Structures are given as structure tokens and as C-alpha cells.
Copies of this chain bind each other. A is one copy, B any other.
């Protein structure tokens, strides 16, 4: 199977497959006489693993660690769980940050009549002036 088919079957673009090979995340595949990369079902399986891991928000580096544990027969389940737990913590921190932003912005938007008067609580806040109190 050529790289195009492997890309289609795995959901990873051909571009990214070559990139993953270049950075050592996946092993270089066999080549045909005409230098085409050749992939089999196992390689596609690995690519799908990577795709899923990336979709779940793991970095390429974390994905690399997970991939190593997956392919290691004497893998430690606890180690995988720790990576995932750490990732959950990071995600929750990020979520809290974003929620803080939404809260601030929602407050400002609700204070903003949206007419064309020149005073705007959102801009006033960005400019460092205190927002209008009491809703």
C-alpha cells in the first residue's frame, strides 16, 4: 500500500506521515524499487493509534511515550495511567482558564447595551478602567 492509501485508511495526512517518520515517531517503512514508501496493515494500525492519541489532545511527545508502552510487551499499566492522569490535570487547568475568560467576557458583554454610544465597557476594561459595577 502506498502512502496515499495509508493516509486515507488512518486519517493521518501523507504529509504528516512523512513528518512522523522524519522526527522518529514511526519507523521508516520499506521502499519499492522506485523509492515509494510501502505500508501494511500493522503500520496503518500504528497510524490510527497516533491519530486517536493526537485527537485526545496528547502531544506528539506524549504520543511517542504511549506508543512505546503500547508496543512494549512488558508495559506497565500504571505508567500509562499516570501519563493520562497528568494530561487530565493539564486539561482541567486549561478548561478553568478558558472558563475564567468566558466569565469575564460574558459579564462585559452583558454590560454592553450594543447600541452605538461611544462608551463601551469591554474596551474600558481592556484599557484598564474599572468596569461598571452592580451588573
| Interface positions of A (Cβ within 8 A of B) | 45, 48-49, 52-53, 56-57, 66, 69-70, 73-78, 80-81, 84-85, 87-88, 91-92, 94-95, 98-99, 101-102, 104-106, 108-109, 112-120, 122-123, 125-128
Contacts and interface: CB of A to CB of B under 8 A. Distances in A.
A70 B119 CA distance: 10
A81 B122 contact: yes
A108 B75 CA distance: 17
B88 A102 contact: yes
A83 to B, nearest CB: 8
Given A95-B99, A112-B80, A128-B49, A75 B105 contact: no
A101 B49 contact: no
A122 B88 contact: no
B70 A87 contact: no
Contacts of A85: 109
A91 B122 CA distance: 17
A113 B78 CA distance: 8
